[in-house]
Amino acid sequence: MTKYIIRRLLQTIPVLFGVSILVFSLMFLIPGDAAQVIAGEGASEQTIENIREKLGLNDPAYVQYGRFITNAIQGDLGNSVRTGRSVMEEIEVRFWTTFELAIYSTILAVFIGLIAGVISAVRHYTLTDVAIMIIALFGLSMPNFWLGLMLIQWFALGNLPFGLTMPDWLFNIVQMKPSGWGEWNQMVLPVITLGTGGAAIIARMTRSSMLEVIGQDYIRTARAKGVSERIVIYRHALKNALIPVVTVIGLEFGAFLGGAVLTETIFAINGMGRLTVTAISQRDFPILQGTILVISLLFVLVNLLVDISYKFLNKRIDLN
């Protein structure tokens, strides 16, 4: 196991190297001039040129990249063009908010997705199965920004579809705050918005994997021995069906970290996603590069944890 972990960590180096090249290239691909942003719209050409020289923007691209990657390895991602603060400080303030949003959304997606997928597989080709898969299709197809806006209309403002208004007594019970993060009634709507699509994907994958496992010989043998259906489903079938599902869960968690951009913008959550949107609008290249690099690193580490978890789900898997 230790050798496998070390080998996988070494394999992440070229991946992160490629990511760093793409992240650094953003400065050249996105329209705008960092020196112009710092100097302001009314600055003279000489002032802009002095700033470019100070920041090293006149150096060749390979020199700039060498400086960028050397500093990044040491934990220095530069300073924000907008605020002048360290990029790591800006990210640190907002990181845990985005991380919490992704964690809670993943928990919601796994809870709903696994239950729905198992029920759909056990009752396959019945009306229940069809209904669950139709709902999952809607959840998969629904843009999360649209769902977020609808949830605000329904549970924060009380405006129901077709011009209906929620009764005051019910509105006082279910009313949620449409912005911010920290209190439970601020977290519910963003978590539902971000987790719904993931729940649909997990439900579909769980159903598919469970149907494949349920048809195996050892499941029929367990049933022939008189083992209760509950034990057959949850101890034998579900455990062996979880490997592809765990892979999807890991990918969804990474997607939630990146997908938080829209959700945090809609609900005015001061996280990394909103920081990224602000950096794009203000041409704050160091912040943009830093947030993408951090999210990419987390994505790689999550995939490593997913691969390690295979060993605990199936002892026959050899990671060496």
Q: pLDDT tens digits, residue range 206-253?
A: 999 999 888 888 888 888 888 888 888 888 888 888 888 998 998 899
Report how far apart, in Å, the C-alpha atoms of 152 and of each of 57, 61, 97, 167, 266 are: 44, 46, 20, 16, 9
Percentage of residues of the chain with pLDDT beyond 90: 26
Q: What is the pLDDT of residue 188?
A: 93
Domain with CATH 1.10.3720.10 in the chain: 91-313
Q: How confident is the model at residue 1 (pLDDT cuts 50, 70, 90)?
A: low
Q: Is the pLDDT of residue 315 over 70?
A: no
Percentage of residues of the chain with pLDDT beyond 70: 93
Residues 221, 224: Cα–Cα separation, whole Å: 5
Other C-beta atoms closer than 10 Å to the C-beta of 279 total 26
Q: What is the pLDDT of residue 37?
A: 67
CA nearest 302: which of 239, 242, 258? Answer: 258
Helix, strand, or coil (residue 77): coil
Residues 300, 92: Cα–Cα separation, whole Å: 19
Q: What is the pLDDT of residue 85?
A: 85
Question: What average pLDDT is seen over the chain?
Answer: 85
Q: Is the pLDDT of residue 36 over 80?
A: no
Residues 240, 233: Cα–Cα separation, whole Å: 10
Q: What is the pLDDT of residue 117?
A: 94
Report how far apart, in Å, the C-alpha atoms of 14 and of each of 3, 31, 104, 134 are: 18, 28, 31, 41
Tokens at 296, concatenated: 């990419």
Other C-beta atoms closer than 10 Å to the C-beta of 205 total 21
Other C-beta atoms closer than 10 Å to the C-beta of 153 total 14
Report how far apart, in Å, the C-alpha atoms of 308 and of each of 7, 204, 234, 252, 315 are: 12, 23, 22, 17, 11
Q: pLDDT tens digits, residue range 37-59?
A: 666 677 777 877 787 777 777 78
Under CATH, which architecture does the 91-313 domain have?
A: Orthogonal Bundle (1.10)
The one-letter amino acid code at 3 reads K
Q: What is the pLDDT of residue 163?
A: 76
Q: pLDDT tens digits, residue range 291-311?
A: 888 888 888 888 888 888 877
User: Rounded to the nearest 5°, which phi and psi values hold at 270?
Assistant: -85, 70
Q: How confident is the model at residue 33 (pLDDT cuts 50, 70, 90)?
A: low
C-alpha 189, offset from chain centre: 16
User: Rounded to the nearest 5°, which phi and psi values hold at 317?
Assistant: -75, 130
Residues 267, 281: Cα–Cα separation, whole Å: 18
Residues 26, 136: Cα–Cα separation, whole Å: 36
Q: Which residues of 284-319 are buried (b: 16+ CB within 10 A; e: fewer)?
A: bbbbbbbbbbbbbebbbebbbebbebeeeeeeeeee
User: Rounded to the nearest 5°, which phi and psi values hold at 124?
Assistant: -60, 145
Q: pLDDT tens digits, residue range 179-191?
A: 889 888 999 999 9
Q: pLDDT tens digits, residue range 149-159?
A: 999 998 888 88
Q: What is the pLDDT of residue 32?
A: 64
Angle made by CA atoms 44, 45, 48, in degrees to the nearest 5: 90
pTM for this predicted structure: 0.86
The one-letter amino acid code at 227 reads V
DSSP state of 112: H
